Amino acid sequence: MSIPRRQFLKTAGFGIAAMAAGPAHAWESKAPDDPLGCLVDVTRCIGCRKCELACNQVNKLPEPETPFEDMRVLDAKRRPTAGAYTVVNRYYPGALDERGQLSPTFVKIQCMHCQDPACVSACVTGALSKKENGTVHYDASRCIGCRYCMVACPFEIPAYDFHDPLTPQVRKCTFCLERLEDGKMPGCASICPTEAITFGRRSVLMRLARERIEGDPARYENHVYGEHEAGGTSWLYIAGQPLAKLGFPAVPDEPLPRRSETIQHALFSYLWSPAALFATLALTMKTLSGSKKDKE
């Protein structure tokens, strides 16, 4: 194997230049400044499943097997699915009512619209994106169906059309993006009879959450879930119990994309390491193969 000399020097030169250009600045959050969000006050939720109904209608989802008025579905713990972007679950975290009975707590779950979403960082083609207004948006026309977003999401939210053989989609709460763009509230927030879901700017919601907690410390756990979880989320929760007792997965405060993106960028920004490796190997090949007898 012989390497034409001119070609070789050129390639090696590129590699060394790339090495000098060098990589890697520290990871930076790409979170929008003051996105829209929702504050879910778990203590206000009465488990009426109206939000499920509204979500079904505004997103034109298929009719469920059991009607939304049937409260027996609350007997089992459910997760969001391809046909239901939000579900309400009932928990008995230990508090007793005035008659000494365990009193239920109801929690609605849906996509948290993370500030630095793992799903967006993971998505091969950028089919998932974080919009300036806070919504984490899915564009089916870019999706290849690899389901890496589902692997990445720490809240274990995205669901998949596993039964569609050719055009399945990733399904999750859309934050009713179209309604927001029309200046309307999300379907679930607008229907909620007890105002358990408050829609607004995240900074405003944070202030409201703090006010409620401070105004009634006996009613609330002193924690706004989503303030720091996964680096912060657009949807926030306050509750009478730790959210871990209400079926929420344990999630670190570090934004999940930080580590993997740091690795990716340190190694591959400007393709510096592949270029350097190429140059080194070409040099090695030239020296080692060239010196010995060299045929083939």
Partner 1 sequence: MHHPRPIDRPFWSPGVLVMLAVMIAGGAALAVRFVYGLGYATNLSNTNPWGIWIGMDVASGVALAAGGFTTAALAHVFGRHAYEAVTRPALLTAALGYTFVAIAVFVDIGRSWAIWKPIFFHNYNSALFEVAMCVMIYLSVLWIEMIPILAERWGAKIPLLGRLDRGLSGFMWIFIILGVVLSCMHQSSLGTLMVIAPTKVHPLWYTPFLPLLFLLSAFAVGYPMVIVETNLATTSLGLHDEMEVLAPLSRFTIVTLGLYMGLKIWDLLRRGALPLAFDGSLAANSFLVEVGLGVILPWTLLLFPSVRRSRRGLFFAALFVVGGVLLNRVNVFLVSYRPQTQTIPYFPSIGEILVTAGAVATIMFLYRVLTTHAPVLSAPKQEDMAR
At 23, the amino acid letter reads: P
Binders of partner 1 in range 234-253 (CB under 8 A) = 247, 249-252
Contact criterion met (CB below 8 Å) for 70 and 64: no
Cα dihedral across residues 273, 128, 162, 168: positive or negative = negative
Residues in the chain: 296
Q: Does 84 bind ligand SF4 (CB under 6 A)?
A: no
To the nearest 10°, the Cα dihedral for 37, 158, 62, 191? -20
- Per CB under 6 A, the list member of 112, 205, 246, 251 interacting with ligand SF4 is 112
First to last CA, the chain: 6
Interface mask toward partner 1 for 24-53; x: CB under 8 A: ------------------------------
Q: Which does 20 bind (CB under 5 to 8 A by kind): ligand SF4, partner 1, none?
A: none
d(CA 115, CA 135): 9
Among 22, 67, 94, 126, binds partner 1 (CB under 8 A): 126
Q: Counting contacts by CB under 6 A, is residue 88 touching ligand SF4? A: no
Q: How far apart are CA 85 and CA 72, in angstroms?
A: 19
**Of residues 4-63, those binding ligand SF4 (CB under 6 A):** 54-55, 58-59
Other beta carbons within 10 angstroms of residue 118's beta carbon come to 24
The option from ligand SF4, partner 1, none interacting with 151 (CB < 5 to 8 A, set by class) reads partner 1
Residue type, 252: P
CB-based contacts of 126, cutoff 8 Å, min separation 6:
120, 142
Binding mask 114-153 for ligand SF4 (x = CB under 6 A): x--xxx--xxxx-xx-------x------xxxxxxx---x
Number of shown-chain residues binding ligand SF4 (CB under 6 A):
41
Give the DSSP letter of residue 158: -
Closest to ligand SF4 by CB, 136 vs 246, is 136
Q: Check binding of 21 to partner 1 (CB under 8 A).
A: no
Residue 72 is a binding residue for partner 1 (CB under 8 A): no
Find the binder of partner 1 among 19, 168, 177, 208 (CB under 8 A).
Answer: 168
Q: How far is the CB of 174 from partner 1 (least distance, A)?
A: 17
- Sheet strand arrangement including 36-41: 197-201, 36-41, 235-238
Minimum Å distance from CB 115 to partner 1?
Answer: 15
- Is residue 106 a contact residue for ligand SF4 (CB under 6 A)? no
Q: Does 289 bind partner 1 (CB under 8 A)?
A: yes
User: DSSP class of residue 162?
Assistant: T
